[in-house]
Amino acid sequence: MEFLLAIFSISYQFGDAFAFLVISCAGLAVIFGMMGIINLAHGEFIMCGAYVTAASARAGLPLPMAIACGALAAAIIGMALERTVIRHLYHRPLDSIIATWGISLIATQGVLILLGPTMQGIGTPLGSTLIGDRSYSIYRLVLFATSIGLLLGLYLLFYRTRFGVISRATIQRPDTARALGVDTRRVYALTFGLGAGLAGLAGGLYAPTMTMVPTMGSTFIVESFVTVVVGGADIFLGAAPAAAILAVIKAALTAWYGQLFGQIGLLVAVIIVIRVMPGGLSAFIKRWQK
């Protein structure tokens, strides 16, 4: 019995870390993998989603709908930014880093000026359950299930829908896709909007567990970049297995040595992966497939 409880406790920690990595990196991975853009404003899209979720929930919307509002708001802002800024930087990856960093600074400072240093949050719903002598948050279990659902949904979107096929074609050969009638600008706008919306979703999902401050995006930034770097350009072959591996490392180190060592373990893992496979897991898996 003691043994089973320990297994459950470790699995719970793994699931929690996995969910956090997958949910926080999905938007970043879509934008990087599909468009090659390194979006340094990723954390601010997350913050946007969290703020809108908290505001709508406190205005009386049920939490799932409030989260949907958060995701939608981030998606709309993302598409507006794509049209005004990002679109002009598609062939200038370094400039796009600077531009998105600028957006990130403006967003954090703007929110600080407009809404102040903190906003009233919302409590974590669903409470907790006692298993053995430890209590577990049910909402965290819901987040784990959501992260699996998210991966499944993205897989279906990119591999089973017309939009998915066309967007993958656009990524592989933009010129040819355009000459075959694909409105590639629209594909890019929608893909960026999707990435921003996923970031907003991450913010919305974690809003009930966090303190609402304008810099809250930075809580997610390290984990999401680490996952995308370890994973490489393909979200399914890369980000998902990367999240699983990193979650094991993080859960194990956190359980035995504490939070700080969990973080250090992630960064060490990144350094090792870049050294051994510069293209990330997905490039490694693809080469191995051939």
**In the bound complex, what is the minimum distance in angstroms from residue 241's beta carbon to other proteins?**
18
Q: Compare residues 103 and 166 and give the one whose CB is closer to other proteins.
A: 166
**In the bound complex, what is the minimum distance in angstroms from residue 169's beta carbon to other proteins?**
5
From residue 266, give the alpha-carbon distance in Å to each of 116, 148, 169, 248, 260.
Answer: 33, 21, 33, 10, 10
For tokens 């973080």, the residue is 263
**In the bound complex, what is the minimum distance in angstroms from residue 137's beta carbon to other proteins?**
40
DSSP state at residue 210: S
**In the bound complex, what is the minimum distance in angstroms from residue 185's beta carbon to other proteins?**
9
Do 6 and 185 touch, CB atoms closer than 8 A?
Answer: no
The pair phi, psi for residue 226, each rounded to 5°, is: -60, -45
Q: How far apart are CA 189 and CA 195, in angstroms?
A: 10
DSSP three-state, residue 121: coil
* Interface positions with other proteins (CB under 8 A): 162, 165-166, 168-169, 172-173, 175-184
For tokens 């409105």, the residue is 183
Q: Compare residues 163 and 257 and give the one whose CB is closer to other proteins.
A: 163
- Nearest-CA neighbor of 187 among 207, 173, 208? 173
Residues 6+ apart with CB under 8 A from 148: none
Q: Compare residues 4 and 179 and give the one whose CB is closer to other proteins.
A: 179
Q: Compare residues 224 and 282 and give the one whose CB is closer to other proteins.
A: 282
Do 225 and 265 touch, CB atoms closer than 8 A?
Answer: no
**In the bound complex, what is the minimum distance in angstroms from residue 27's beta carbon to other proteins?**
22
Parallel, antiparallel, or unpaired for β 134-137 and 128-131? antiparallel
Q: Compare residues 236 and 261 and give the one whose CB is closer to other proteins.
A: 236
Record the tokens describing residue 124, joined without a space: 């974590």
**In the bound complex, what is the minimum distance in angstroms from residue 41's beta carbon to other proteins?**
28
- Nearest-CA neighbor of 35 among 76, 79, 91, 84? 91
Q: Compare residues 125 and 164 and give the one whose CB is closer to other proteins.
A: 164
Q: Compare residues 123 and 181 and give the one whose CB is closer to other proteins.
A: 181
Q: Compare residues 53 and 170 and give the one whose CB is closer to other proteins.
A: 170
**In the bound complex, what is the minimum distance in angstroms from residue 148's beta carbon to other proteins?**
25
Q: Residue 101: how many CB atoms within 10 A of its CB?
A: 14
DSSP letter string, 157-188: HHHHSHHHHHHHHHHH-HHHHHHTT--HHHHH
Do 34 and 171 touch, CB atoms closer than 8 A?
Answer: yes
**In the bound complex, what is the minimum distance in angstroms from residue 163's beta carbon to other proteins?**
11
